[in-house]
Structure 1
Amino acid sequence: MTSPTLEREHKEGSEHRDAAVAADVIERARGLVDPVLRAAVDSLPGAMRKVAGYHFGWWEADGSPASAPSGKAIRPAMVLAAAQALGGTPGDAVAAAAAVELVHNFTLLHDDVIDRDDTRRHRPTAWRVFGTTEAILAGDAMHSLALRLLAEDAHPAARGSIRWLTDCVVELCEGQQIDCAFERRDDVSLPECLAMAEAKTGALLGAACAMGALYGGGSEEAAQAMDGFGRQIGLAFQLIDDLIGIWGDPAVTGKPVGADLVARKKSLPVVAALGSDTPQGRRLAELYVLERTLSAEELAQCAAAVEGAGGRGWAQGESCERMAAAMAQLAVAVPEPSAADELLALAELVTRRTH
């Protein structure tokens, strides 16, 4: 009979191995994709090039070299891992991986403007440094760069990938629009919030996996299943992100404590708490409608109310359910589990992250 201590040590050892595999996959993805990203950004006109490079963490606002964090690279790693899982060569999918990363960062530039966020990756956001107009235009240019990379790619999967990516961008924009509309409503339901999260976060991870499947030689049916896998991973990602937005350590996240509560965001755990019909949920609703800046004590009360009303526990449980749904979709596209080891390691990394 296995002791609880041995089971825990086995689980922790497995998690460390998964983390090491994911870190290796991401590092290899960076090595392949970063030169393509830099070449694409270098092709931009000077002013937009400066904004984009600053956003990526490659240089300071004055153009001098920098070594700031440049993002997690999970999405391009997913493209390459999906291509490999379907029997292809990751190096053949580099243009698709770079295109996905450009689209992701174009949305971040725009999101920071829309949300009026002051920091990203432990630095002032691009719009704070260069201005709103410059950040928006740089984001637009990065979107165009993504499509150009695919249009110029000779791989047979490039044409189908353009369709996946363009459809995804429309869905992303819809998700952002709905998210903004939620800020003006007090009656947001959990199903609505989940649908918004799938559009805003799940769609791009789904497209990344689907595009990787196409570049790996997979069928349209396999690409659809991989899209479903990525979308479920994206929802798990968003659930964890929402928890970090409330309880994340600012020293790790680079954002103020309780950043989402400060902004009164209708994040998934918050909506779950507001709809709980509990005293804590009602207290949270009272605090959320106050038309002034919340004090540190009130922010702490908000966080406690979300937890007390069950929002934190629900989000953690829902994240596990979304992971299970993702595994079911993955099994359809990749019947041999060992072929998907790197994808699974990335998925585990997404749901165990702290920032």
Structure 2
Amino acid sequence: MTEARRGATATCRPTGTPDRQRPIGALRDGEPVAVEGGVEGGYEAEALLRESRASVDPELRSAIASLPAGMRQVALYHFGWQHADGTPAAGNAGKAIRPALVLTAAAALGGPAARAAAGRAAAAVELVHNFTLLHDDVMDRDTTRRHRPTAWTVFGDADAILVGDALQALALRLLAADPHPASAAAAVRLADCVMELCEGQHTDTSMERRAPGEVTLDETLVMAEAKTGALLGCACALGGLYAGADAAHVDALDAFGREAGLAFQLIDDVIGIWGDPRQTGKPAGADLAARKKSLPVVAALNSGTPAAAELAELYAAPYEEGKEDLDRTALLVERAGGRDWAQARAADRMAGAMQELARAVPDPEAAGGLLALAEFVTRRST
């Protein structure tokens, strides 16, 4: 990978002080746009994601088929494989980024045989990811995911929570039943990751109850690493374990995934404010209306600018539809520097991820797939 291509992570570029208001969902000139086959330059990543989804879906379907009928219905709906009435659906189970990291890391250090052996581990990581999505939607009261109503809005809070719990149990059962010699270490690592995820979510929910000026950037970054970076790091580490890598290489893979995961979260928070609802599947400005203290918002609130003071005043009161212009609120975040800060920090984290990847997989050719996936998640516009 050349330096020129590394510098092409367009989503992460700071683009200066805004000089006019743009509607939520409008992208700046020079930001990446969707092209046929995915984000420009992302064709290799798209192929890896398709291959990973094809490899992992049979394991996921088999695991979900073992659930009791009531929970199975909710799980199949959540994964997009079934409508609420039980009839088959075309399916939108997500991009499969995390299982792709497992399989690609295994291949990078152990070749095709290691990739094939890591199928259950990849499915386990995807089950844990979806456990967190089901619970997050309930806690955040999000009503839309993947362009359809969230499971709790269809089946109720209790069913969504219980199915999330069941998916986590299925993940650990997959690893416990896997005869691969790395499965026990993988199960421990995944369980530790779940505890870190829960700690991150606990911190996140406690921060939402605090006044805007009481939340610091440092603690928000720590929370984001626990909520997002931990599972991406764990995914990469599990791939290394299934490839028979030593502890140093496994830890470097974990660090690579964490750095890329934090870059992912920074960009995801930008999209949560300025993303196009037609692409994201979520209402415009939903994060602002919910008063989420996302990374761009916290950076803006801590900027000491007049826009920060105005934003803090808005965030101190609940959102009232019809009384607050969310486009204006998004512009305040931008004028206070939140958007540029998040994009610049995402670029910094990606640079750190590249350093860790070089430690984990010294052969640039073998590391190409992991690099493509990391660039994909930070170049996206949706």
* TM-score when normalising by structure 1: 0.94
Partner of residue 247, structure 1 = 274
1:331 maps onto 2:331 in alignment: no
Mark the runs of 5 or more structure 2 residues left unpaired by the alignment. Answer: 1-6, 9-31
2:330 to 300, 303, 322: 303
- For the pair 1:96 / 2:114, whether they are aligned, the reply is no
- Structure 1 residues 353 and 227: CA distance shift in structure 2, 3 A: same
Contact 1:57/1:67 (<8 A) preserved:
yes
Match of 1:159 in 2: 184
Look up the match of 1:4. none
- Stretches of structure 1 lacking an aligned partner (at least 5 in a row): 1-6
Q: Which segment is superposed worse, 297-306 or 50-59?
A: 297-306
Q: Which residue of 2 aligns with 1:133?
A: 158
Contact 1:68–1:121 under 8 Å retained in 2 = no
1:173 match = 198
Q: Residue 72 of structure 1: CA displacement?
A: 1.1
Matches within 5 A, 1:1-355: 18-88=41-111, 89-186=114-211, 187-295=214-322, 297-355=324-382
Residues 233 and 254 of structure 2 are in contact (CA less than 8 Å); yes or no, is this contact kept in structure 1? yes
User: Which of the two has greater helix per residue?
Assistant: 1
Tell me the distance in 1 between the aligned counterparts of 2:334 and 2:319: 23
Instruction: Report how far residue 202 of structure 1 moved.
Output: 0.4
Aligned AA for 2:208? E
TM-superposed CA distance for 1:296, in Å, is 7.0
Give me the whole-angstrom Cα distance separating, in 2, the residues matched to 1:78 and 1:339: 13
Question: Structure 1 CA distance, aligned partners of 2:207 and 2:247?
Answer: 35
Partner in structure 1 of residue 12 of structure 2: none
Confirm or deny: 8 A CA contact 1:103 1:142 kept in the other structure: yes
Q: Note if contact 2:273-2:288 (Cα within 8 Å) is conserved in structure 1.
A: yes
* Separation in 1, partners of 2:275, 2:162: 31
Shift of 1:18: 4.0
The alpha-carbon deviation at position 87 of structure 1 amounts to 2.1
CA distance in 2 between counterparts of 1:250 and 1:231 reads 27
Quote the Cα distance in structure 1 between the aligned partners of 2:247 and 2:321: 50
- 1:287 and 1:298 in contact (8 A); partners too: no
What CA distance in whole angstroms lies between the structure 1 residues aligned with 2:331 and 2:139? Answer: 28
**How many residues are paired up?**
346
Distance in 2 of aligned mates of 1:241 and 1:290: 24
Moved over 6 A (4+): none
Q: Deviations over 1:234-267 (max 9, x none)?
A: 1001001100100010100110001110100000
Check 1:94–1:310 CA distance in 2 against 1; reply closer, same or farther (3 A cut): same
Query: Percentage identity across aligned positions?
Result: 61
Pairwise CA distance, 1:230? 0.3
Report the aligned-residue RMSD. 1.8
Note the alpha carbon deviations across 1:33-70, whole angstroms, 9 max, x for none: 00000000000000000000100000001110001321
